[in-house]
Amino acid sequence: SRRLFDIFVAEVPWTVSRKELKEYFSQFGSVQRCQLPFDRDTGFHKRYCWIKFSTSQEAQNVFQKDCHILEGAKLTLRPQSHRRRSQRKSQSD
């Protein structure tokens, strides 16, 4: 099974960019991808993102740290389950 993303991050401050997120999470390992969805109507990002690391060990490193704060805001992180495709199917039934 192909892994999509390792970590889901919520409560991302409006002022934080994809580049800043990538830089922040790079301290834990090699960030392969950071997906920060934008709202077409407002032009702002939706305040959540997904981070993908090169290895699962690097993703685990993130959870060794108790608290993640960017620009004064505490981020909410959770490991991403890698079953997005099957979840999507059940939603459209």
Residue 87 lies in a domain: no
Residue 75 lies in a domain: yes
69-91 pLDDT per residue, tens:
999 999 999 998 655 554 444 44
Residue written as token pair 């805001």: 73
Residue 86 lies in a domain: no
CATH number at residue 36: 3.30.70.330
Residue 92 lies in a domain: no
Containing domain of residue 51, as a range?
6-80
User: How many domains is the chain built from?
Assistant: 1
Give the pair of three-digit tokens for residue 34: 């950071």
> 10 Å Cβ neighbour count for 30?
11
12-55 pLDDT per residue, tens:
999 999 999 999 999 999 999 999 999 999 999 999 999 999 99
pTM assigned to the model: 0.82
Residue 36 lies in a domain: yes
